[in-house]
C-alpha cells in the first residue's frame, strides 16, 4: 500500500546525463572548473562548439535548417526524438549552417555529429 511507481528513462552522453521522469526532462551535468582555471589550450570563452552533436541516442525527427542558412542564438536546429520525447536542439549563438551530416528519420548515437556550424564573428582573418 502507498507504493508509488514512476516511469523513468535515462540516457548518458560525454557531457551530461539525461533523465525523463513521468514526462519531465532533466539534464544533469558535472560541475566544471571555473573559466579562470581552464587551460589556455581550451577553446576561448564565448566561442561555441563547431560540431553540434546528438545529446542522446534517438531519431532525427525534423531538420529545421538547411546548409548555408544563417541562424540566430537559440534558434532551433533539429528535433531529436528520444525516449518517446521530442527534444529541440538550438543554436548556441549566431552562426551559419556549414554542413548537415544526417537526414530526417535517421537514427543517431549520443555524441554523433548532426551538423556543423560556422561562426563568422569569430573569424580572425582580418578581412
Kindly report, residue by residue over 89-111, the tens digit of the pLDDT.
999 899 999 999 999 999 999 88
Residue 55 included in any domain: yes
Q: What CATH number corresponds to the domain at position 79?
A: 2.40.50.100
Write down the pLDDT at residue 71.
Answer: 96
41-45, 56-60, 93-97, 122-126: segment of lowest average pLDDT: 41-45
How far is residue 81's CA from residue 60's CA, in Å, rounded to a whole number? 6
Q: Model's pTM, two decimal places?
A: 0.62
Residue 115 included in any domain: yes
Residue 88 included in any domain: yes
Write down the pLDDT at residue 1.
Answer: 53
The candidate with the shortest Cα–Cα distance to 13, out of 50, 52, 54, 49, is 54
Residue 28 included in any domain: no
Residue 33 included in any domain: no
Write down the pLDDT at residue 38.
Answer: 43
Give the residue with greater pLDDT, 7 vs 59. Answer: 59
Residue 106 included in any domain: yes
Provide the residue count of the chain.
127
Please, which pLDDT band fits residue 112 given cuts at 50, 70 and 90?
very high
Residue 2 included in any domain: no
Note down the domain range covering 104: 49-122
Q: What is the dihedral of CA 36, 27, 92, 122, to 10 degrees?
A: 30
Domains contained in the chain, number: 1
Residue 15 included in any domain: no
Amino acid at each position: 500500500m502507498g507504493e508509488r511507481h514512476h516511469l523513468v528513462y535515462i540516457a548518458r552522453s560525454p557531457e551530461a546525463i539525461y533523465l525523463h521522469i513521468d514526462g519531465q526532462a532533466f539534464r544533469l551535468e558535472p560541475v566544471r572548473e571555473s573559466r579562470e582555471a581552464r587551460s589556455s589550450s581550451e577553446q576561448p570563452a564565448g566561442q561555441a562548439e563547431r560540431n553540434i552533436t546528438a545529446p542522446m541516442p534517438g531519431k532525427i525527427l525534423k531538420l529545421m535548417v538547411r546548409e548555408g542558412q544563417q541562424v540566430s542564438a537559440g534558434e532551433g536546429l533539429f528535433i531529436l526524438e528520444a525516449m518517446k520525447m521530442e527534444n529541440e536542439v538550438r543554436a548556441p549563438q549566431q552562426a551559419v549552417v556549414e554542413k548537415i551530416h544526417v537526414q530526417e528519420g535517421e537514427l543517431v548515437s549520443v555524441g554523433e555529429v548532426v551538423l556543423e556550424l560556422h561562426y563568422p564573428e569569430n573569424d580572425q582573418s582580418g578581412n
